[in-house]
Amino acid sequence: AQSVTQLGSHVSVSEGALVLLRCNYSSSVPPYLFWYVQYPNQGLQLLLKYTTGATLVKGINGFEAEFKKSETSFHLTKPSAHMSDAAEYFCAVSEGSQGNLIFGKGTKLSVKP
């Protein structure tokens, strides 16, 4: 069975500081991994995804994530936080391209001026 663990339900950073949101997964097969962002009262927007190939993936809004198989991790980073990055972030895993997405519990990112 697949699962996703997001460490830290709430992360607070200062504007301009590094953003690091942690995600660990478990999967019995090579995983497809995703990061989504959700703004209040809105649906989810895909930030980036890893399927195969290059383990460092770049997404929208300056975010990137690195797939580390040995650590079963897919942490999300951004070098410099903006106020507009404040939102809820969800990590998700699926078994291949047609499997259900299993979501982590989410991490709320706050950005202080």
Partner 1 sequence: GAVVSQHPSRVICKSGTSVKIECRSLDFQATTMFWYRQFPKQSLMLMATSNEGSKATYEQGVEKDKFLINHASLTLSTLTVTSAHPEDSSFYICSARFSRRNTGELFFGEGSRLTVL
- List of residues contacting partner 1 (CB under 8 A): 32, 34, 36, 41-46, 49, 51, 90, 94, 96-101, 103-106, 108
Q: What minimum distance in Å lies between the beta carbon of 83 and partner 1?
A: 21
91 contact partners, CB below 8 Å, separation of at least 6: 4, 6, 21, 23, 25, 33, 34, 35, 74, 76, 103, 104
Helix residue ranges per DSSP H, 1-113: none
Nearer residue to partner 1 within complex by CB, 34 or 78? 34
Nearer residue to partner 1 within complex by CB, 6 or 73? 6
Nearer residue to partner 1 within complex by CB, 19 or 57? 57
Measured CA to CA, the distance from residue 47 to residue 2 in angstroms comes to 21
